[in-house]
Every structure is written in structure tokens, then in C-alpha cells.
Structure 1
Amino acid sequence: MTPVCPFVKAARPDEMNSKKPGENLNKHQTETEIKTKKDASDSATASPKCPFGFDSQKKDANDSAAASPKCPFGYDSQKKDLNDSAIASPKCPLGYDSQSFKIGPLSCLVCHALLFESSKCVPCSHVYCKACISRFKDCPLCGADIEKVEADSNLQSMVDRFIEGHARIKRSHVGTDKEEVVGENKPVIYEDVSLERGAFLVQQAMRAFRAQNVESAKSRLTLCAEDIRDQLERMGNTSELCSQLGAVLGMLGDCCRALGDAGSAVSYFEESVEFLLKLPKDDLEITHTLSVSLNKIGDLKYYDGDLQAARNYYFRSLNVRRDAIKHHSNVPSQILDVAVSLAKVADVDRSVGNEDVAIGGFQEAIKLLESLTLNSEDSSLEQRRLSVLGFLNNQLAEKQPETTL
């Protein structure tokens, strides 16, 4: 099945081609008349026909509302109106356009990201990322048994040159006339998608991380962070750059946590918080990212046994979310976030022996969630509300038997 971008609606077939060619023609018409009709209506090259008949259309006008069967090989695609030919099709920021998802020549077929530690299968010679192919015994592309895997340094060198020349934000340099010359920072065009250079590296990192190729994701994000730091040195702490660096550092923290490096993860999250604190607090996305980074540090401290430090970070996150409600009191997700932070703080309070304070926190969170009214369209938020509410009620029920004795 052809993947469709979740942000782009599928192109509607041209009304001119919605009927089967020649369906209203009289069977006694001459071949000349048929040819004239066809030439008039199909001025462009005829669309390919599906060998399984999936491109056939409804003959009855009353059946026009019924959905036509879709060809699994894409032969039923229609041409767009000639008037729309000058309009560029919207592109998905993650590389999924409205018609197809294309893998670039330097990408791994498993993770769909740029090759990292390129490795060649023997004997079929197909190339993948080292981490991706290590999970297979047969070649994912041809099915041949993998006898061994060899590093492909030549191809990896080509990938690295592509990243350095086309994907990284070029640094400014000083020419012979001592005047600053700024390098061209043209968008990256790869897989028929045009992205800004920093966004392209983040895209590749997200694909790799999703496919559990964490080292690849970390490598791309590290380059992206270096480029943003260089821009900060030249342009100062602008809101846009601080927001970008804060987000990238947070993702680097996620990579380190996935690799089991808790110390580096905390360092990245703390640096992310440092840059996000420089930004205005009236932006929901920024406050959410900031509070999540604080909670992630708290989680790592909690698992490390440092409960007091964990409570400190949880409480800071709670304050950020409470301040956000003051500016956006009508956003249900913000109320849910506050309830989650209250639960985290109360859980630590119980662990350190402050039972009364913990019960107060749980009860405050329950009141928030019980007073929250959601629209019928917010089914995902309702599921989350019920899940958190169930957890909070269970926390209160755990202590109930002791209080009744």
C-alpha cells in the first residue's frame, strides 16, 4: 500500500477523468469518431492501466459516491487538472509526500535514514547501517543468507562528504579582503524533499531513533547542535536559535538515556533547560518542552536513588506548568500536565515519609482531573485523563487500610 503523509490530503482525481473513457459512446460509432473523442479528452499521455482491473470506474452516475477500489500497485492514479499544474504539491516535513515515499541513494533501507557505519552483506553486497543489519540473518532486500558483514568505508566516506557539503550549516569565513563572507546555506534537496539544513539533520536523526539506530541519531544530532552553537556565537542568543538548541539537546539526552548513559543524559537535559529558560514563557510548545526536560532529569535522579534532587526537578516542572495555566487556562492538556506533575511530586513525598503532604498532592490532582470537561473529539485526552485518575485513586487506596486500623 502506498504510504500517505498524515499531514497532506490525498490529491483528488480530475473530474474530467472520473468516468471511464468512451463509456457514453454509441457502439455503432466509427473508429474515426472514437479516435477524435479520445484525442480531445486525453490530450496528455494516457494513464497506465492496472493489469488487475482496479482502475475501472463506476458506470452508473448514481454510484459516483461509492469508493472505487484501489490498485495495490498504483495504476489507478489519475492526472491532475491542467489548471493545477503550476501549483506545487505540498511536501511532508518528514519526507512523506502525497504520492510516495522515496528512499535516497545514500539511505539505509531498514531505518530510512542516511547510512551510518555502512556495512555490506556478503555475498549479496547490499549495504545497510551496521546497527540495522546486525538484527538480521537474511538480507532484507534479496533474502540471501548473510555469511558475514563487512564495513563499506568508501560508501560511508561518500555519505560523510554529502553531509559535510550539503546538510551542515556552513560557517562564515573571512576572505582575502578581510570582509566576512557568508557561505551559501541553501536548503537540502534529497528524496524529492527540500528542507533547511538543520531540519534535515533532525529528520534523519528522528528516523534513525525510531528504528532503534540510536548511535546514528546521536551522531546527526551532535552535528546539528554544533552548527546551532556556531550560529549562536555569531548571531547571539536569539529566541529561535535557543529554542532549536534546547530541542536538539533534549533529543540528545533521550539518545544517551536509551544507550544507558544516565550521566550524559542529565548533562544534555540540564543544558536544554538552560537554553529554554531564556525564552518567553507564553509559548505552549516551549513551556511543555521545558517541563518535560525537567521531569526527565527528575526521573533519572529518582532511579539513581537521589530522591531529594528528583523532587526538586519535579517541583520545578510543576511550577512551569502552573505558570502556563495562568496564560492558557482553557487548554485541557495543560491541566493534565499539572496533574501528572502533582502525582510525581506526591510520589516522592511518600517515598521520603511525608505521607500527609503526599495525600494532599494526590487529592489536589484528583480534583483537577474530576473538574476537567473534555469535548467528545478529545478521545485521546480522555483516555489519558482516566489513566492518570485511576493511578491517583490507587495511590490513595494503598494507604486507606492503614488509616482504618
Structure 2
Amino acid sequence: MTTPVCPFVRAARPDDTGSVKKVAASGSEAVRKDSGDTATVSPKCPFGYDSNNFKLGPLSCMICQALLFDSTKCIPCSHLFCKVCISRFKDCPLCGADIENLEADTNLQSMVDRFIEGHARIKRAHVDTNGNGAGEQASNADNKVIYEDVSLDRGAFLVQQAMRAFRAQNIESAKCRLTMCAEDIQDQLDKMGNTSELCSQLGAVLGMLGDCCRAMGDAAAATHFFEESVEFLTKLPTDDMEITHTLSVSLNKIGDLKYYDGDLQAARSYYFRSLGVRRDVIKNHPEVASQILDVAVSLAKVADVDRTLGKEDLAVDGFQEAIKLLESLTLKSEEAGLEPRRLSVLEFLKSQVAEKQSETVSSASP
């Protein structure tokens, strides 16, 4: 018989320190697979849920497929969803009944909150040295589950829930989960100091909080979170491509916000910083196609601002440099998935140069 386990705690975790960084920086929902280490015991979920029914279990919203946030009951059918999710419907998505009213279910929401706390603080007990297997140990009633602040597992779990909610446009839910994650990592920073792992995790989560604020139309808060992300990520070694990519993206997002706010000089400054980070990466990793694509995108952003500022010759130089990069880029078979992006960016760049050439011809005509 399969023993119910906490759905986001791995059966073994020889390297927990990378779990949140890999989830947060890449945007992936999945935590790393079990390693099969039999030196640990998988604890039972304190609420009785296993990994098979967790995703769409009784504490999850069937619309966003994340844990319920502002749990709300449909009247008269009593089906439960997140408030934001169900507010978009006139009929219940589950049974089709007309929704006459919506009622908050505070008791259920309290259970969801306790579910998060309970699962976040499980630490598996080590087996004894008698050679008993993990399955035998898990079924042994003498084994005790130790509750402890395991913030890295909790962080991976919260990011997973936030990503589901964000994709479903339940931004408040995503922001809440990410805020909890950021607070957990900050607590660890206070205890352990600014380690590379913790700073990279916090930098990535802060960037995701910036995305939430931008989606909510709060540009000031978004800029604040992106700037905090940059502050933490710039403390880290620049030889990790995952970290440098996240740093360059945060810089570009601040640049985007400045651009749309009309502050072109500030936008160019952030774009140019991002370009510098990406140039440094391809100096050390000239064979990585995705990084070359990133440089081309940054060149396009800087050139676009230069054109808007009236620096046409400088802009064309930037566009043409990016075109040369992409035209000389040869993708390996395992990088074939980058080809659509390469062609899309290349098409944009060529259109920008063609626009200038067209204007030149027009002005030279009698």
C-alpha cells in the first residue's frame, strides 16, 4: 500500500539548497525528482492528503488549480473556488448552476492556511542503522515526524502555487504566496548571512513579486521589487548563467517601466546595464545560443531608446550589431527550439534597419 506523503517534500534531498532557486528563476512548477535515497523516511501529510489528490484536492481551486485564496462558496450549489477566480463566472464551472450569490468561507480558508504551515515545517526522521528499508520505516508507528522550519522546501512549494495562480490571473493569490516565500528566505538571511544560494533565491522571488505588481498596474511597487531583486543578485558571483539571466531580466523590466513612464534616459541606463551583464556572459560562454539571443534582445532595447531619443546613427549601429550576431548564430540540434525566437528577433531588427533606409530614400527623392 502506498504511504501518503507530503506532496512537495521529496523522498530524499541530498541538495535542498538548489530547489527554490531552480524553481523560481526558471518559472518551472516542478521540484526535482526523488533520488531514491533510502536513508530517509517520507513523513505523512498531517491532513491526510497524498501527492495524487493534492493538485486538485479539497483545498484547491478547480479554476486556477492552486490552493484556495479567499475561499468563496457559490450559492446555491455550494461549490468552492478562489474569490477572484469564480467572480468571472455567472454559472458554476463545475455543475453549471446559476450563481445567485457568493459567500466567503473563512473556516475553509483557515484550514488552507494551516495546511500550508503544517506542510512547510516537516522534516523527515532518519532511519536507524539496522538496515530497514524506507517503506518498512514509513509504516512503523514508532517513527516520528519532526516539525521544523524547512524554508527551502516551503519556498519551492509556495513558488509552485504562485505560478499556477499567476497563470490563471489570480494575481493576489500569487503575490500572497510569493510574499510568504520572500519572508521565509529573509528570515534565513538574517540567521545565516548573505549566502549566494539565499540571495539568488530571494532575488528571483522578488522579481516575481515585481511581475505581480506590474500585472496589477502598480508600477511603483513593481519597480521597488525589481530594484530589490537587482540589489541581491548583484552581490553574487557572475559565473552562474541562471543568476546573471535573472539579473539581466530584472534590469530590463525596470527599464521597461521607466520607458513607459516616459523616462527614456533612465530606461536606457537600465537596458545598457542589462546589456553589459549579458555581454560578460557570452565572453565566458560564447557557445551558449540562448545567451547570444539575450544579447541581441538587449541591443535592440538600447537601440530602440536611442532612436526615440533622436540618436538615429547610434540606433542603427545597435540594430546591425544584433543582426550580425543572430545571422552568424548556428544552433545545435538540441537548441532547435530557439530557432523561432531567433527568427522573430531577427525579423524585428531587419524591419528597424529597413525603416531607416526607407526614410533615407524618401528624403533624397526630389
| TM-score normalised to structure 2 length | 0.76
2:163 matched residue in structure 1: 206
3-state DSSP of counterpart to 1:116: coil
Equivalence for 1:258: 215
Query: Which of 336, 340, 354 is 2:311 aligned to?
Result: 354
- For structure 2, the 5+ residue unaligned runs are 1-35, 41-49, 124-145
Which of 130, 133, 137 lines up with 2:86 in the alignment?
A: 133
**Equivalence map 1:25-36=2 (5 Å):** none
Q: Do structure 1's residue 122 and structure 2's residue 75 form an aligned pair?
A: yes
Kept in 1, the 8 Å contact 2:120–2:150? The answer is: no
**Partner of 1:158 in structure 2?**
111
In structure 1, give the amino acid aligned to 2:286: S
2:12 corresponds to: none
Structure 1 residue matching 2:345: 3-state secondary structure: helix
Instruction: Specify which of 55, 58, 63 is matched with residue 110 of structure 1.
Output: 63
Q: Which amino acid aligns with 2:120?
A: A
Instruction: State whether structure 2 residue 355 is matched by structure 1 residue 402.
Output: no
Query: Are the equivalent residues in 2 in contact too, given 1:169–1:227 (CA < 8 A)?
Result: no
- TM-superposition CA deviations, 1:131-176 (whole Å, max 9, x none): 0111111112222111111111111122122223433699xxxxxx
CA shift for structure 1 position 376: 4.1
Distance 1:169 1:334 in 2: 39
Tell me if 1:317 matches 2:274. yes
The aligned residue for residue 335 of structure 1 is 292
Question: Does the residue aligned with 2:337 lie in a helix, a strand or coil?
Answer: helix
Asked whether 1:285 is paired with 2:254, we answer: no
* Residue of structure 1 equivalent to 2:149: 185
Which whole-Å CA distance do the structure 2 matches of 1:155 and 1:343 have between them? 50
Runs of at least 5 residues in structure 1 that lack an aligned partner in the other structure: 1-83, 89-95, 171-181, 188-194
- Aligned CA distance change for structure 1 residues 169 and 240 (closer, same or farther; 3 Å): farther
Higher helix share: 2
Distance 2:319 2:326 in 1: 11
Distance 1:328 1:211 in 2: 36
Counterpart position of 2:201: 244
1:216 maps to which residue?
Answer: 173
The Cα of 1:249 is off from its aligned counterpart by 0.2
Question: How far off is 1:183 after superposition?
Answer: 6.5
Checking the alignment, whether the CA contact within 8 Å between 1:169 and 1:197 is kept in structure 2 is no
Structure 2 partner of 1:272? 229
Which structure would you say has the larger RCO, counting Cα contacts within 8 Å and 6 or more residues apart? Answer: 2
CA distance in 2, matches of 1:353, 1:169: 59
Greater shift, 140-149 or 209-218, is seen at: 140-149
1:332 shift after superposition: 0.7
| Matched residue SS, 2:318 | helix
Q: Secondary structure at the match of 1:196?
A: helix
The 1-side partners of 2:182 and 2:121 are apart by: 10
Work out which of the residue numbers 135, 148, 168 in structure 1 matches 2:101.
148
Q: Which of 387, 394, 399 is the aligned partner of 2:344?
A: 387
- Residue of structure 2 in register with 1:225 after alignment: 182
Alpha-carbon distance between aligned partners in 2 of 1:297 and 1:230, rounded to the nearest angstrom: 26
Q: Distance in 1 between matches of 2:167 and 2:81?
A: 16
Change (3 A) 1:103 1:402: closer
Q: Is the 8 A contact 1:121 1:148 kept in 2?
A: yes
**Match for residue 345 of structure 1 among 295, 302, 317:** 302
Displacement of 1:280: 0.8
Equivalent-residue separation in structure 2 for 1:159 and 1:101 (angstroms): 12
Percentage of identical aligned residues:
78
| Paired residue secondary structure (1:149) | strand
Tell me, in whole angstroms, the C-alpha distance in 2 between the residues paired with 1:218 and 1:184: 25
Q: CA deviation at 1:403?
A: 2.1
In structure 2, the residue corresponding to 1:378 is in which secondary structure?
A: helix
User: Once the two structures are superposed, what CA deviation does each residue of 1:163-202 show, in whole Å capped at 9, x if it has no partner?
Assistant: 23433699xxxxxxxxxxx971359xxxxxxx81111111
Query: Offset at 1:100?
Result: 8.2
Aligned length: 294
Structure 1: distance between partners of 2:84 and 2:331? 44
* Structure of greater Rg: 1
Quote the Cα distance in structure 2 between the aligned partners of 1:183 and 1:160.
Answer: 16
Provide TM-score, normalisation by structure 1: 0.69
Instruction: Say if 1:344 and 1:146 are closer, same or farther in 2 by CA, change over 3 A.
Output: same
Question: d(CA) in 2 for partners of 1:311 and 1:327?
Answer: 25
